[in-house]
Amino acid sequence: MNIEKFIQRTEILHKRLADLYQTASVLPWIPTDLQPQALKELHNTLKIVQLAAQELYQQNEELLETRNWLEAERQHYQELFEFAPDAYLVTNTEGIIQEANHTAARLLNVSKHFLVGKPMMNFVPLGERQQVRCELIQLSESDRVKELLVRLQKRHSESFDAALTVKVVRNQQGKAISLRWMVRNISDRQYLESGIVKNDRDLFKDRPVHKYSKGETISLNPLVIFYVCQGLVKLNTYCETGEEVLIGLATAGMVFGSSLTSLNIYQATALSDVDLVSIYSAEIANSPTLSHILLPKMNQRLQQTESFLAISGRRRVQERLQHLLQLLKQEVGEAVPEGTRLSVRFTHEDFASACCTTRVTITRLLGKLQEEGIISFDLKKHMILKDSD
């Protein structure tokens, strides 16, 4: 029964009750002392029912307005999804396509009706499917946006290089329930070959930014080189005794990645809040312009690694620390009235791992340098190196 009919019936009941009251007042066999009380109770009950019915009616109207508004919003976002310039797909966690927009259908040379229900892997060449599956397994365990570089095969047509930006969607319990994909054809990234890339911003203007908070371990991919847009990344390995060894610092404008080292253990940690963009090795190999831009940055990392190697080769720990401080001054130093301030706070463990010594020794040596006035600390505990006279 809908609300309108319910209100109509309460009004009919009210009228019948009024008629009953008039009839009862003229019937001689009904005691006069019972008539008012009984009818009054019925009348009050009916009034409560009528008020409840009116309230339900008002709530129903509000619900209808909310439903209409939500439907209009849904239709609005559905249209944005359908006619977006980029290709969008929604799949379940196994990669079965549940939704696709018109751009995705055109890009893959299939109708939307054909796409729904098909595995995303159908459009990935056989040789690359295992790698994509491994990437998706890692993605399901993280909330980070992932960009994959693969070749996709159009239906009854040629293949093309594609950048797949994938985001996992979770329910309130944190369980992964679906994947959202943005698919871009990067075969025609002609700006890389036409010399339009003039500065670092052009490297990442169309790429997703991966953000890491201070202290987070950065997930490395052997197919990817990371470019540091902002922040500082510590690169380290571990020796046979389990001790950490600092082997590099990637500052803004530098690159790093597991493909740039032969070490079996290679770890990257954010020493501050960090913004990174990923560049696939395949892109670099296919783009002379991109290779030309990244080569000096790789050379910069190589030179820094050699500097750390030279420091570890010095016999006296005091000399290692002094040369390390000069290297840090060059890499992350900023001028202040008192000298040069290190923009990042390093722990005694960080200094010890770079100097191949113990934290106790570093604490003693830093205390001595502070007594001699060679170093000092600001209110935020950042080290300040006194400039040489």
Give the domain CATH number at 363: 1.10.10.10
Does some domain include residue 91?
yes
Read off the pLDDT band of 239 (50, 70, 90): confident
Q: Which of 79, 107, 123 is the last residue of a domain?
A: 79
Cα distances (Å, whole numbers) of residue 47 to 5, 13, 146, 260: 17, 11, 62, 81
What is the spatial distance between Cα 84 and Cα 264, in angstroms, rounded to a whole number?
A: 43
Q: What is the mean pLDDT of residues 29-53?
A: 61
pLDDT at 41: 63
Return the higher-pLDDT residue of 23 and 193: 23
User: Does residue 174 share a domain with residue 118?
Assistant: yes
CATH at 305: 2.60.120.10
pLDDT at 185: 82
Among 184-188, 222-226, 322-326, the range scoring the smallest mean pLDDT is 184-188
Alpha carbon 178 to its chain's center: 15
User: Does residue 87 share a domain with residue 73?
Assistant: no
User: Does residue 169 share a domain with residue 135?
Assistant: yes
* Mean model confidence pLDDT for the chain: 79
Among 128-137, 212-221, 266-275, the range scoring the smallest mean pLDDT is 128-137
pLDDT at 43: 62
Read off the pLDDT band of 360 (50, 70, 90): very high
Q: Is the pLDDT of residue 191 over 80?
A: no
What is the spatial distance between Cα 27 and Cα 39, in angstroms, rounded to a whole number?
A: 14
pLDDT at 8: 66
Secondary structure letter of residue 123 according to DSSP = G
Sign of CA dihedral 27, 33, 37, 40: positive
Burial of 188 (0-12, 13-18, 19+ CB in 10 A): exposed
CATH at 148: 3.30.450.20
Q: Is the pLDDT of residue 366 over 80?
A: yes
User: Does residue 102 share a domain with residue 59?
Assistant: no
Does some domain include residue 377?
yes
Angle between helices 359-371 and 348-355 (to 10 degrees): 110
Read off the pLDDT band of 130 (50, 70, 90): confident
User: Does residue 216 share a domain with residue 170?
Assistant: no
User: Does residue 305 share a domain with residue 206?
Assistant: yes
pLDDT at 364: 93
Q: What is the mean pLDDT of residues 229-249?
A: 84
Which residues have CB under 8 Å from 127's CB, separation 6+?
none
What is the spatial distance between Cα 118 and Cα 245, in angstroms, rounded to a whole number?
A: 48
pTM: 0.53
Domain span at 91: 83-188
Q: Is the pLDDT of residue 16 over 80?
A: no
User: Does residue 250 share a domain with residue 205?
Assistant: yes
Among 69-78, 160-169, 285-294, the range scoring the smallest mean pLDDT is 69-78
User: Helix, strand or coil for residue 99?
Assistant: strand
Question: Are the C-beta atoms of residues 341 and 333 closer than 8 Å to each other?
Answer: yes
User: Does residue 93 share a domain with residue 177?
Assistant: yes
Strands 375-377 and 383-385: antiparallel
Report how many domains make up the chain: 4
pLDDT at 5: 66
Angle between helices 359-371 and 317-332 (to 10 degrees): 70
Does some domain include residue 194?
no
pLDDT at 289: 76
Q: What is the mean pLDDT of residues 172-193?
A: 73
pLDDT at 158: 79
Instruction: Summarize pLDDT for 275-298 with one digit per residue, the tens.
Output: 998 887 777 777 777 787 888 888
**Which of 8-17, 74-83, 105-114 has the largest mean confidence?**
105-114
Which tokens is 299 given? 């050379």
User: Does residue 262 share a domain with residue 294?
Assistant: yes
Does some domain include residue 193?
no
Question: Any bridge partners for residue 245, and if so which?
Answer: 237
Where do we find the tokens 């169309």?
206
Q: What is the mean pLDDT of residues 33-60?
A: 66
- Picking from 284, 271, 167, 163, the residue whose alpha carbon sits closest to that of residue 226 is 284
Strands 383-385 and 233-238: unpaired
User: Does residue 19 share a domain with residue 100?
Assistant: no
User: Does residue 206 share a domain with residue 164?
Assistant: no
pLDDT more than 90, % of the chain: 7
Q: What is the spatial order of strands in the sheet that 255-256 belongs to? A: 210-212, 274-280, 224-230, 255-256
pLDDT at 94: 85
Phi, psi (deg, nearest 5) at residue 50: -65, -40
What is the spatial distance between Cα 321 and Cα 243, in angstroms, rounded to a whole number?
A: 18
Does some domain include residue 261?
yes
pLDDT at 274: 92
User: Helix, strand or coil for residue 75?
Assistant: helix
Q: Is the pLDDT of residue 106 over 50?
A: yes
Secondary structure letter of residue 93 according to DSSP = T
Q: Which of 159, 188, 217 is the last residue of a domain?
A: 188
Does some domain include residue 67?
yes
User: Helix, strand or coil for residue 379?
Assistant: coil
Burial of 48 (0-12, 13-18, 19+ CB in 10 A): exposed
Return the higher-pLDDT residue of 91 and 71: 91
Read off the pLDDT band of 192 (50, 70, 90): very low
Does some domain include residue 196?
no
pLDDT at 233: 93
pLDDT at 85: 75
Q: Is the pLDDT of residue 214 over 80?
A: yes
Q: Which of 79, 95, 114 is the last residue of a domain?
A: 79
Does some domain include residue 96?
yes
Q: What is the spatial order of strands in the sheet that 97-100 belongs to? A: 97-100, 87-91, 176-185, 159-170, 146-153
Cα distances (Å, whole numbers) of residue 194 to 161, 188, 271, 294: 18, 11, 36, 16
What is the spatial distance between Cα 91 and Cα 97, in angstroms, rounded to a whole number?
A: 4
User: Does residue 156 share a domain with residue 126?
Assistant: yes
Q: Is the pLDDT of residue 346 over 60?
A: yes
